[in-house]
A and B are shown apart, each in its own frame.
Chain A
Amino acid sequence: MDDLFAFTALIQLISAVNFANIKFHFHEKVFELLLDVQLILDEMFRPMESTISADIESLMGMDTMETKNNRSLQPRIDRLIREYQGLSSEWNIKKQTYYTTKENCIQAQGIKSFFLFISLYCIYDLALIALIPSENYADVSHVGLFVLNISSLIVSIGFCIRSCFHKKNKPESALYTIAIILSIVSLILVFCAVKYWGPFILEINSPAIPLLSILLPFAPCLWCFVYVVYHIFSIRLPMRCRSISIRWKQYKLHREKKQLDDLHDLFSDISSPPATFG
């Protein structure tokens, strides 16, 4: 039974090493799966964008009629075209920020080093689990797992906060170095804890720790979903809020364009047959 337990731990250890590499890009895949920015933009803003484009082209194609007192509609049409073009540029700039946010989320350097840290942590974690059946090291293993879990929890929260704010002031290699140093510090902490606070920790030790430790290799997946969901909200909500002012401006311009349409209809009433055959 002990051999079987050790063998299972070894398999998990190897799996953790293999998955470490995959998980660096896991969040990118999950993000693509859960949020298609282009699709969302199309769903939310296609009617507004269509009206802007159609109104601009329609105004450009409108006849330059003159009213009875020889006042041309052309200056009004030109002004409306200019305002619409300004609105269109403003909207394109806003739209671009959504793509930038998405890119920041995927390219955030902190998140990759965070997954590296989790992967290294999982390797130590599983090595300690493998020691549980041993009579000599069972206590060491329990204390080690306890300290390792607590320290990783604290470090994980730090990484998450950092990644969510897209800190990019450090190169990727430096962040990897930080992740490796942090994991080694955790390991040293485990040894210190075993030596100095072992008996005390064993008193508060819970039998749930080994079970929790077996589940923890899946932590990167869980964190990845948390991270991506956070970004989905951080893109969708501002998207709605920021578009309100654009929508309002577009509504006012469209109303004015409709007035021009009505004026145009007065001059060329096509609702009754405008032509004869001959």
Chain B
Amino acid sequence: MTEYRKAVEYYASNNIDYLFHNKGSAHAQIIFENIFKNAREHIRISALNLWNTEVVRTKEYLEALKLFLDQPKTRLDILVKNMPSNEELAEEADNNIYRMLYSHPAYSAGRIRIKTGNGKCFKTPEGSEVHFCTADGHMYRYEDNITERTAQCNFNDSSTAENFENLFDSAFQSISSVVNLANIFA
């Protein structure tokens, strides 16, 4: 996996058009980490609830996301199918992503927006649930099997990334359920 990490870092940092087929949590974590580290403007995430311990609530994922938010003028839009329960969110743990987002200055600056689909999510024409993440109009990770985390990813494919971003934006604008983290953590 060390070699894979090096390879992904190489493709991501050099913006090389290469289609990665990846599978499993370890791959997912490496890909997300590199998307966050190399993004400079805008990240969009469509996910189940951003609460899994295998990928999201890991030190690497959270640190990379924090590094992205530390950059000025960056924006993060998150669209989740469902939010975790308030009891779960109340956890004081270091790997609580929502607490991290709330305590980051980017949240009070309005650079982080979170919405919930209240059970609605992106689906394939066959009806299976899909998740994706895009960054800066040229990076994407598209997970078409959320159980096995089978996904495709590219760090420099503008046309596909923009298609996903348009899809995300139209859904994001149509949803009114804004998640206000201040109601949970304040």
Contacts and interface: CB of A to CB of B under 8 A. Distances in A.
A161 B124 CA distance: 71
Given A53-B4, A54-B7, A271-B159, A277 B122 contact: yes
Interface stretch (A56-64, A143-151, A180-188, A194-202): A56-64
Contact of B160 (A46, A50, A57, A270): A270
Contacts of A270: 142, 152, 160
B130 A275 contact: yes
A274 B124 contact: yes
Interface in B134-162: 142, 144, 150-152, 159-160
A15 interface: no
Given A61-B22, A273-B167, A54 B122 contact: no
A47 interface: yes
Given A272-B163, A275-B124, A50 B10 contact: yes
B163 A275 contact: no
B103 interface: no
B76 to A, nearest CB: 19
B166 A51 contact: no
Interface size class of B (residues with CB under 8 A): 35 or more
A275 B142 CA distance: 10
Interface residues of A, number: 27
Contact of A61 (B10, B120, B122, B150): B150
Contacts of A261: 19, 21
Contacts of A264: 21
Interface of A: 46-47, 49-54, 57-63, 261, 264, 268, 270-278
B3 interface: yes
18 contacts: A50-B7, A51-B7, A53-B4, A61-B21, A61-B23, A61-B24, A61-B27, A61-B150, A63-B21, A264-B21, A268-B144, A268-B152, A270-B152, A271-B160, A275-B130, A275-B132, A277-B122, A277-B170
Given A261-B19, A270-B142, A274-B124, A53 B3 contact: yes
Nearest to B140: A270
A53 B124 contact: no
